[in-house]
Amino acid sequence: MITTLLIILPLVAALLVYLAGQRLAPTVAIAATVLEFAVALYAYFTFDVAAGWNFAVNQEWIPSLGISFNIGMDGISMALVLLTTFLLPIILLSSLLSPLKDKASFYSLALIMQSALIGVFVAKDLFLFYIFWELALIPIYFICLLWGDENRRPVTFKFFIYTLFGSLLMLAAIIYLYTVTPEKSFALENIYNTDLSALEQTWVFAALFLAFGIKMPIFPLHTWQPSTYTSAPIAGTMLLSGIMLKMGIYGVIRWVLPVVPTALMNWGWLAALLSVIGIVYASIIAIRQSNYKTLIAYVSIAHVGLIAAGLFSNSVEGLQGVIAQMLAHGVNVVGILFVIEILLNRTGTLEISKLGGLRNQMPQFAVFFVVIMMASIALPSTNGFIGEFLLFVGIFNYNPYLAAVAGLTIILGAVYMLSSYQKIMLGEAKSAYNNVLDLTLIEKSILIPIVIVIFVFGLFPNLVLDLTEPAVNEILHTVNNSIPVAN
């Protein structure tokens, strides 16, 4: 019942927000997301880790086609539901600081997207997963198209083409998997137990990896991302980078690793290699960026490349690192994007060369900025450290050479993040910003929870690791038991 409530509540709220009108829409929307987070916290504190799937619901939907409304939460799903419900109030609250036309429509779309994202993370039926996946794409498409900058139309069209191509590949793989299941079912258990030949697994792996790889995105499927992140409104970029790219990573964990383990053994090295190439490529480009928002877009590609490489390590450390880093990246990137929003509101520019010396006028902002930045480069005691450490352990055990190249993220990450902070916040104060104000109360109310989470999960990582470990072990058990033993 709780899982169903988490899906339905944002949909009901979206209707209420739209009917509430422009003045009340933000209040109703934010209240609904806070309530949704409270429900998710209740689920977390009553979650039985040892029981596996919690709060399961399985009702026939289209029995003639073997489709069920089959949902539930294991530790991995629970972690991503918490991330989604924690970030939505912050994202919507931050949008109050930007002038928005047609607020009722914007907040309604964001709530519909939240419902779909929750659905993606709790679906135990592959067809239902696909429905929620597609439903999540529709709101963000219109958010980018209607509230983006002057380049939004061609950029959003490119985003649409990429996601449509990925969706078609996913649909083809889903239909094929359905046809080869003995039960003619989309249920997770039946999909996992289907015996596929090595060739069948290769084609299914290729289709699903491309579909999910576009959404993450990883090299060379990333080209839609920098322009979309830059063109989208800040709240839209937060939704895309903070939560939506996790759909692709989650899709690989849930629907690729356990389904096509032989193909993973044969081709996982290529996927890991592309991910590591993306790390270095995006990091080098990030260093050369003059616009801070575009820089963060490439930083996100580099971070996701490291996460993607860990997906194919076939180890507890690697997969635990993936999940921990997904959560850390979601919180940190939303924090850094809110920093960007504050900079834009105060100075009217995100060109790094035009900024400088802001620490003198905004000392409180400088402290929050540096904490979030340090979490982004995985400083020990912050939430980014444990996930990155586990990822490197997993990748090293898989291939030491890939780990050595991936390790460049530590150096390059420090270069582009510290250098940009120095240019924006330090140095001689510029007269153009003499009257810039420090943080307001609403801005502090957004930044404080982000910083608290950074340190809580940095100092107590077992809050995440203990939650997800049984689910990770179960997935790896399925993978390893399905790989044929060589004679």
Residue with tokens 């699903």, as numbered in its chain:
208
Closest by CA to 267, choosing from 201, 180, 212, 172, is 201
Q: What is the pLDDT of residue 486?
A: 44
| Structural domain contains residue 432 | yes
What is the pLDDT tens value at each position of the chain, 487 positions in all?
799 999 999 999 999 998 888 888 889 999 999 999 999 999 999 998 888 899 998 888 888 888 889 999 999 999 999 999 999 999 999 888 877 788 888 999 999 999 999 999 999 999 999 999 999 988 988 888 888 777 778 888 888 888 888 889 999 999 999 998 888 888 888 888 888 888 888 999 999 999 998 888 788 877 777 778 778 888 888 898 888 889 999 999 998 989 888 888 888 888 888 888 888 888 888 888 888 888 888 888 888 888 888 888 888 898 999 999 999 999 999 999 999 989 888 888 888 888 888 888 888 999 999 999 999 888 889 998 998 999 989 998 888 888 888 887 777 778 888 888 888 888 777 777 778 888 889 999 999 999 999 999 999 999 999 999 999 998 888 887 766 544 3
**CA–CA dist 250, 73 (Å, integer):** 13
| Structural domain contains residue 332 | yes
> Half-sphere exposure of residue 9, counting CA atoms within 13 Å on the CB side?
21
| Structural domain contains residue 16 | no
Tokens, residue 453: 């989470």
Cis peptide before 220 (omega within 30 of 0): yes
| Structural domain contains residue 28 | no
| Structural domain contains residue 473 | yes
The Cβ of residue 121 has, within 10 Å, a number of other Cβ atoms equal to 27
pLDDT tens per residue, range 288-317: 888 888 888 888 888 888 888 888 888 889
Domain count, the chain: 1
Find out whether 413 and 283 touch, Cβ atoms under 8 Å. Answer: yes
**CA–CA dist 482, 264 (Å, integer):** 11
Closest by CA to 243, choosing from 417, 120, 390, is 120
**CA–CA dist 276, 316 (Å, integer):** 20
Q: What is the pLDDT of residue 456?
A: 94
**CA–CA dist 325, 319 (Å, integer):** 10
Find out whether 125 and 67 touch, Cβ atoms under 8 Å. Answer: yes
Find out whether 43 and 84 touch, Cβ atoms under 8 Å. Answer: no
**CA–CA dist 235, 228 (Å, integer):** 12
**CA–CA dist 241, 401 (Å, integer):** 29
| Structural domain contains residue 330 | yes
**CA–CA dist 119, 129 (Å, integer):** 7
| Structural domain contains residue 197 | no
**CA–CA dist 55, 47 (Å, integer):** 9
Q: What is the pLDDT of residue 483?
A: 63
Instruction: Identify the domain containing residue 334 by its residue range.
Output: 279-487
| Structural domain contains residue 369 | yes
